[in-house]
Amino acid sequence: MTNRGTILMNRAIVRRPGRSVISGLSTADLGQPDYNLALTQHQAYVRALKDCGLETMVLPPLESFPDSTFVEDVALVTEKGAIITRPGTQFREGEIHFIVPVLKKFYPTVRSIIPPGTLDAGDVLDIDGHFIIGLSERTNKAGARQCTDHLKAMGYSAATLTVRSGVHLKSEVSYLGRNILLTTEAYAEEPLFEKYKKCILPLEETYAANTVQVNGTVLIPSGFPTAKSLVESAGFTTRSLYMTEYQKLDGGLSCLSLRFRSH
């Protein structure tokens, strides 16, 4: 297994989608997801995480929360601590109660975002311990401030920008490792990203900006040839996964898991 500049991760937490996933929040206008296909795609995703060396805990579906398979949004997990978020849509707020006991198995203390703060961790981009927090319709200034304070208390640094396109910051920017970002044009000129190398996606491949680098392999959505060739030209191995049913819900590869290193 290769480690191309980022800390080796060894664990992931995912939540299997329930039948209610077909009623998840969406701005995509791509139709309703097919539950069975979503389940099959989720199984392939779990297999990929395991193949990348992650011990993967699969949580049971939460039928009363259609979007709860997008487990990334309810917690920010780092090597030094975990922060339970306060999702910026009321529709998802209750999901946090189901992740707290799970994270307490891995972290002695768990911090929280509290009112009036709201934050979806899909808005938080970890660049080797420097965290970029996107202010969006889900993440407000109070949430970003609290998150910054928590991260600084853990010894990390953080900066804030305004999300200008996509539901979350990470809908359109991913950190691949080795100082390389995969991004859409929307963030290509962002001053906070000036010092990083960038793979810039064409408009028609916007969805592929959300990728996950796991221990040197970059998981990318199937059907985006430019993204695949940019990531491979940057020196990474890729693994393509069908994500059609999650794309219909504005969800990408990072959204489906919490990935971290636990000792």
Positions in 91-150 near ligand CIR (CB under 6 A): 92, 122
Question: d(Cα 252, Cα 29) in Å, to the nearest integer?
Answer: 15
Longest dimension (CA), the chain: 44
Tokens of 172: 């359109």
Question: Does 171 interact with ligand CIR (rule: CB under 6 A)?
Answer: yes
Residues contacting residue 196 through CB under 8 Å, at least 6 positions apart:
127, 179, 180, 181
Q: What angle do CA 67, 205, 118 make, to 5 degrees?
A: 35
Contacting ligand CIR (CB under 6 A), which of 18, 24, 33, 143?
24
Nearest residue (CB) to ligand CIR, 103 versus 155: 103
Instruction: Output b/e per residue, 13-41; b: 16+ Cβ within 10 A.
Output: bbbbbbebbbebebeeeeeebeeeebbeb
Question: Does 17 interact with ligand CIR (rule: CB under 6 A)?
Answer: no
Question: Does 252 interact with ligand CIR (rule: CB under 6 A)?
Answer: yes
Contacting ligand CIR (CB under 6 A), which of 255, 257, 258, 260?
255
Contacting ligand CIR (CB under 6 A), which of 67, 95, 126, 172?
67
CB of 28 to ligand CIR, least distance (A): 9
* Binding segment toward ligand CIR, per CB under 6 A, in 7-15, 66-74, 185-193, 233-241: 66-74
Please state, in angstroms and as integers, the Cα–Cα distance from residue 218 to each residue in 38, 49, 178, 210, following that order. 21, 10, 13, 10
Question: Does 22 interact with ligand CIR (rule: CB under 6 A)?
Answer: no
Question: Does 250 interact with ligand CIR (rule: CB under 6 A)?
Answer: yes
Question: Does 167 interact with ligand CIR (rule: CB under 6 A)?
Answer: yes
Residues contacting residue 62 through CB under 8 Å, at least 6 positions apart:
15, 18, 68, 95, 98
CB of 129 to ligand CIR, least distance (A): 20
Catalytic residue among 42, 147, 168, 199: 168
Nearest residue (CB) to ligand CIR, 90 versus 109: 90
Q: What angle do CA 43, 65, 53 make, to 5 degrees?
A: 30
Question: Does 207 interact with ligand CIR (rule: CB under 6 A)?
Answer: no
DSSP bridge partners of 58: 14
Instruction: With H, G, I as helix, E, B as strand and everything else as coil, classify residue 253.
Output: coil
Footprint on this chain of ligand CIR (rule: CB under 6 A): 24-26, 67, 70, 72-73, 92, 122, 167-168, 170-171, 249-252, 254-255
Task: Write out the catalytic residue numbers.
Answer: 168, 255
